[in-house]
Every structure is written in C-alpha cells, then in structure tokens.
C-alpha cells in the first residue's frame, strides 16, 4: 500500500478549523465590532500575515517571550528572515509610517485577523488565534486613551457582557521607567536567590516583566518592592490621573493594577487589560496600551499612539447567552417540494423569497417530504415553506412553523408583506 493511501490529514497542533454553526458567532462578533468601531470613526486596515522578523524584534522586543520563544520565523528563498505576525500593532505602525503619515491626525484604524504564536495549546490559547484590534495614531493626550476605552466597553456591552474586569496601570515614559528599573533591580538583586529561574534571567534583561509573575513566593517578595507609580515623572502622573478622571466621569468601572506591565516592550504610559472571571486570571481577553515611541522606531515621524487587541477565540468562549442566541437564530426558510413538483418552480420560489428579503434554503434532492422536513428541523430552521401543485395553482405557499406545528397560507403576490407579518407576528 502506498503511503499516500494511509495519509489522514489533520490540522496542525494549536490551529483550529472554525466550523458552522460556531462561525455564525464569529461573524456576529465581527459585525458588531465593525458597527461599533465605525461609530467612533475607525476605518479598517488589512496588513500582510508575514513581515520582516526585524519589525517584531524592534517593536515587541528581543527579550520578550513572544519574540524570543513564540514566533514562527523562517528564511525565504533569498535567506531573508520573515515571521508570521504574532500581533498586529507592529504591522499597523509600519503601515502608518510607510503609507499613511500624510493623513490628517489622528488616524483611527481597526483590524480583524489571525495571529500566530508558538505557545502551549490549552483552553483559550492557540497557535493560530484571532484578534480584533484598534489603534488610534497621532494623539498623545489622556482623553484619547479614555475614548478608546469607552469604545472597547461600548463594543463589549453591545455583545451583552456585564461581568468583565478592566485593569489599568501606567508604565510611565522611558525616563521614568529607566529610573524605576534601577530601583527595582537594587531591591531584587540582594534577594535573587528567592527568585525563580525565569525571573532571575529577567533581572538583567527586563526586570519590569518580573512584576507580571504568577508565582506566589515572588508575588510576596514583590509586595514590599518599590512601586512604579512612585517613579513617575510629573507628566506621566498627570496623564494617568486625567485618564482615571475621564473614566470616572464616563462611568467606566476599572481597577488600578500596579503590577500590570504587559508582555510587549513598546508600551509607554497607559496599559490595560480586561479579564473574565470565567476564563481564569491568566487569560486576558483584551490587552492594550499606549506606544508613543513605536512609530518612530519603525521609521516614521515621532507619533504618539494607543490601541488594544481583543482575543476573539477567548471572547467567543465566554460570550453571553443573549449574544449566542442572536447570532445563531436561523431566520431562514426551508423550501420543501410536495409531490413531484418541478424543481424549476422551486428555484423560482427561492428567488422570490430572497428578493422579498428572506433567506431560503431549497430541498432540491429527491427525498420524501418527511425526510425533507426532518432535515429542516435538524438544521434548527423554524419555518418550512411547502410548495405543491395545489399551492402552485392558487398562487400561494404553505408556511409551517416547527415550534407550534401550525400551518398557514401566504399569497405569493404579497410574499414580503405576508411572510413578514406571519414570521414577525409569531410567538417566540
């Protein structure tokens, strides 16, 4: 037997097929994002999946887990190192610097698409995952931070979320952060023996990331450590205070989490995450923050910016019931032939129903009416439309409601009005 015959294709570990009916949920969430973000003046951007590896090294940072351990990098045919994007902010910053710098500022952009990180797959963590993100480029003031957070909450509320926790912090500007790194190092170095291996390594490379630890012993050690908040420059402190005032003023609930530093190096000042109790504390649904130096770093003019990315896979895992129902409700009609009615008549009726603004799925195979009705029911469709010689002669259709079992007649001449009245008027 050839090896080809025994090959059973499978998806790559950590990379999933998104299948119906769940894809309806994905589409619903994406449409909600487009609608809500559109109201805030955001326009869509689509950047390539592959970028030069150097872009991520310079932006996300060489010492981060994402770049150091998790990137899918490869040499192209000329030996140039390319990477599948592990996130999209670097790409958006590059695209802005390359193409959009002449546009009036601020430029408001959003994106929806897959990202790739070689992580250990588990619930809420995949190697190909999906983000909806937004970036506000060209304004450095705290009111832009507030508007972005308001947009995020407006989106989450539109999906029916009520119990999410927003955590906010500031990592200051580069000079306050450097000052703080020195103080933190001075505090931790004499206690290095109490740190785990990862944190000891970070002590040299990126001590701020130690604050992010999940290890109880390290958390305890850090309780007495100097606080970043106390190393802030006057400007950074005011920026953060103004943001908090704006969130208070607009009724946004949040908590200050002064150990929140985020796993990407480009952040300055405001950082935030949104977590869901039902996903577990390690799994943030949204992460974001300000990155005032990134665009210059990738070759653009000095341009402050802020943004966030929502982990779509995680968001959908905890999507409230109401949004699930709204997304999967099948509003279509299943058109079933009675007897040996001509399939051409069925095709014509299908077009009439669609032209009247409804979804029609036709039973075109030659199965019995019973089988066809069972298929419709199993698809979760509520309404079947029956068309036989009798209906054809009278210019009518018979509408069957699977939920109540009732049958009613509608006029084909007034199909839109009749279907609208019958379907919308039916008890839920």
Which residues are near ligand HAM by CB under 6 A? 87-89, 117, 119, 124-126, 129, 131, 133, 135, 263-264, 284-289, 291, 307-309, 311, 313-314
Q: Quick check: 125 and 102 in contact, CB under 8 A? A: no
Q: Quick check: 320 and 161 in contact, CB under 8 A? A: yes
SS3 label, residue 180? helix
Nearer to ligand HAM, 117 or 412 (CB): 117
Return all residues near 192 (Cβ < 8 A) that are at least 6 apart: 200, 203
C-alpha distances (whole Å) from 290 to each of 168, 254, 259 are 12, 17, 16
Nearer to ligand HAM, 265 or 391 (CB): 265
Return all residues near 288 (Cβ < 8 A) that are at least 6 apart: 148, 152, 271, 272, 273, 306, 307, 308, 309
The CA distance from 360 to 33, in Å, is 27
Closest approach, Cβ 301 to ligand HAM, in A, equals 19
Closest approach, Cβ 399 to ligand HAM, in A, equals 43
Closest approach, Cβ 119 to ligand HAM, in A, equals 5
Nearer to ligand HAM, 292 or 313 (CB): 313
326-348 as b/e, with b when 16 or more CB fall inside 10 Å? ebeebebbbbbbeeebeeeebee
**Nearest residue to 360 via CA among 417, 428, 415:** 415
Nearer to ligand HAM, 121 or 420 (CB): 121
**Nearest residue to 411 via CA among 400, 399, 423:** 399
Our CA angle for 240, 241, 244, nearest 5°, is: 90
Closest approach, Cβ 128 to ligand HAM, in A, equals 8
Nearer to ligand HAM, 199 or 276 (CB): 276
Closest approach, Cβ 27 to ligand HAM, in A, equals 19
Task: Please name the residue that has the structure tokens 């039902």.
Answer: 278
The CA distance from 149 to 142, in Å, is 11
Q: Which is it for strands 50-52 and 73-75: parallel, antiparallel or unpaired?
A: unpaired
Nearer to ligand HAM, 137 or 384 (CB): 137
The CA distance from 274 to 310, in Å, is 9
Q: Quick check: 127 and 121 in contact, CB under 8 A? A: yes
Nearer to ligand HAM, 131 or 144 (CB): 131
Task: Please name the residue that has the structure tokens 């140039």.
Answer: 80
Nearer to ligand HAM, 210 or 387 (CB): 210
Closest approach, Cβ 292 to ligand HAM, in A, equals 11
Closest approach, Cβ 312 to ligand HAM, in A, equals 8
Closest approach, Cβ 109 to ligand HAM, in A, equals 10
Closest approach, Cβ 428 to ligand HAM, in A, equals 34
Closest approach, Cβ 313 to ligand HAM, in A, equals 5
Nearer to ligand HAM, 114 or 388 (CB): 114
**Residue number with the shortest CB distance to ligand HAM?**
311
Token pair, residue 410, equals 């509608």
Nearer to ligand HAM, 317 or 352 (CB): 317
């Amino acid at each position: 037997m050839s090896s080809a015959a025994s090959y059973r294709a499978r998806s790559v570990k950590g990379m999933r097929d998104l299948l119906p009916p769940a894809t309806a949920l994905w589409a619903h969430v994406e449409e909600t994002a487009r609608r809500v973000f559109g109201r805030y003046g955001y326009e869509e951007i689509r950047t390539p999946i592959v970028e030069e590896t150097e872009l991520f090294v310079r932006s996300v940072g060489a010492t981060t887990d994402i770049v150091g351990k998790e990137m899918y990098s490869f040499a192209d045919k000329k030996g140039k190192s390319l990477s599948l994007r592990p996130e999209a902010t670097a790409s958006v910053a590059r695209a802005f610097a390359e193409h959009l710098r002449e546009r009036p500022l601020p430029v408001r952009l959003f994106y929806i698409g897959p990202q790739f990180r070689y992580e250990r797959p588990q619930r809420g963590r995949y190697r190909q995952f999906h983000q909806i993100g937004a970036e506000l480029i060209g304004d450095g003031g705290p009111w832009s931070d507030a508007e972005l957070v308001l947009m995020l909450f407006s989106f989450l509320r539109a999906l029916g979320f009520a119990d999410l926790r927003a955590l906010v912090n500031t990592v200051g500007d580069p000079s306050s952060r450097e000052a703080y790194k020195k103080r933190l190092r001075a505090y931790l170095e004499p206690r290095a023996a109490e740190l785990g291996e990862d944190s000891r390594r970070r002590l040299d490379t990126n001590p701020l990331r130690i604050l992010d630890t999940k290890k109880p012993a390290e958390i305890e050690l850090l309780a007495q450590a100097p606080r970043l908040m106390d190393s802030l420059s006057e400007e950074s402190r005011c920026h953060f205070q103004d943001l908090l005032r704006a969130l208070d003023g607009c009724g946004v609930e949040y908590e200050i989490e002064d150990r929140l530093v985020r796993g990407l190096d480009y952040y300055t000042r405001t950082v935030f995450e949104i977590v869901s109790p039902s996903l577990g504390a390690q799994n943030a649904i949204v992460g974001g923050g300000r990155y005032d130096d990134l665009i210059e770093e990738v070759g653009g003019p000095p341009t402050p910016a802020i943004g966030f990315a929502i982990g779509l896979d995680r968001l959908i895992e905890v999507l409230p019931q109401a949004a699930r129902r709204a997304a999967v409700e099948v509003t279509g009609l299943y058109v079933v032939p009675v007897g040996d009615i001509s399939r051409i008549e069925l095709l014509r009726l299908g077009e009439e129903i669609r032209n009247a603004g409804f979804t029609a799925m036709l039973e075109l195979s030659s199965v019995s009416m019973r089988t066809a009705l069972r298929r419709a029911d199993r698809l979760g469709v509520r309404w079947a439309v029956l068309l036989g010689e009798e209906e054809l002669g009278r210019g009518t259709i018979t509408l069957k409601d699977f939920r109540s079992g009732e049958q009613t007649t509608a006029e084909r001449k007034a199909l839109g009005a009749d279907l609208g009245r019958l379907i919308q008027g039916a008890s839920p």
